[in-house]
Amino acid sequence: MVKVVTDSCSDITPQLAQELGITVVPLYVQFGNETYRDNVDLSTEEFYHKLETSKVHPATSTATPADFAKVFNKLAEETKEILTITLSEKFSAIYAAALQGKSMVKKDCQIEVIDSRGGAGAQMLLVILAAQMARAGANLDQIVDQVKKAIPRVHVRISFDTLEYLRRGGRIGKAQAFLGGLLKLNPILGIKDGAAFPIARCRNRAQAMDFLVNFVKGFSRIEAMAIEDATTPDDLQALAERLKDVVPPEHTYLSKVSPVVGTHVGPHVLLVAVLEAE
């Protein structure tokens, strides 16, 4: 059976990863001299508490080629086919790290690395698709083909209450058009060509949530949906409730943005990703 690997920026919950047999390679987050493995040594709750109280702003770093090589070598003991889906190379060097990790593997095992062209929920939906196909018995080529075809059908909208975290982390891209507004705004970003892209601006949280709901309702058929928050579970539940008639709950995945993603998006994001049906 094909084994599916991803990085911690996919925000797949440990339960779901276990259930679907997905191996998650953690990135790293550092507060000063302390380094934590994303979602392993530091839970999301602990992280956001630290983010809001710590005097030092956290830094993030990619998983190393060796981290990937270690995972690949271990998995190669039980499979001949491994698929890795990473965070967009526009956000991180993790895609390159995975490729290098692949080249370090000496065992007889076919390894494919795909750039998800996104992150968080958008990446999550591709990983889930791949894992489900693997469990259904598809081979590596079939899965790679389907995942690559699915990439353009994944759409994501992220509501921010500030773009400061994204700007500070240098990942703001074209969304810098939304910086510096003298009005209090909730900008909505998407991901386009693997990078952050400005979509729209709402005047407050309520408008932003309406925007996310209308975004989802704008699709005629949706295969799967991911909804994420960081520190606002009530808003997450409210969104899920409003969307439960649009996408069935069994195709809806709720999660929290991981500490590494959270470092760059801040504690008040709300995110919706959909995989549009073919």
List contacts with other proteins (CB under 8 A): 174, 177-178, 180-185, 190, 192, 197-204, 206-207
How far is it, in rounded angstroms, from Cα 134 to Cα 122?
Answer: 19
| Amino acid identity at 164 | E
Contacts for 235-244: CB closer than 8 Å, 24+ residues apart: 235/205, 235/209, 235/270, 236/270, 238/209, 239/209, 239/212, 239/213, 239/270, 239/272, 242/209, 242/213, 243/213, 243/216, 243/272
Shortest spacing between CB 38 and other proteins, in angstroms: 30
Chain CA centroid to CA 129, Å = 14
Query: 184 vs 221, which CB is nearer to other proteins?
Result: 184
Shortest spacing between CB 187 and other proteins, in angstroms: 10
Shortest spacing between CB 207 and other proteins, in angstroms: 6
Shortest spacing between CB 180 and other proteins, in angstroms: 5
Query: 136 vs 177, which CB is nearer to other proteins?
Result: 177
Shortest spacing between CB 152 and other proteins, in angstroms: 14
Residues 6+ apart with CB under 8 A from 265: 158, 160, 165, 166, 230, 257
For residue 158, CA distances in Å to 79, 97, 175, 226 come to 36, 26, 12, 11
Query: 26 vs 187, which CB is nearer to other proteins?
Result: 187
Query: 145 vs 193, which CB is nearer to other proteins?
Result: 193
Query: 204 vs 237, which CB is nearer to other proteins?
Result: 204
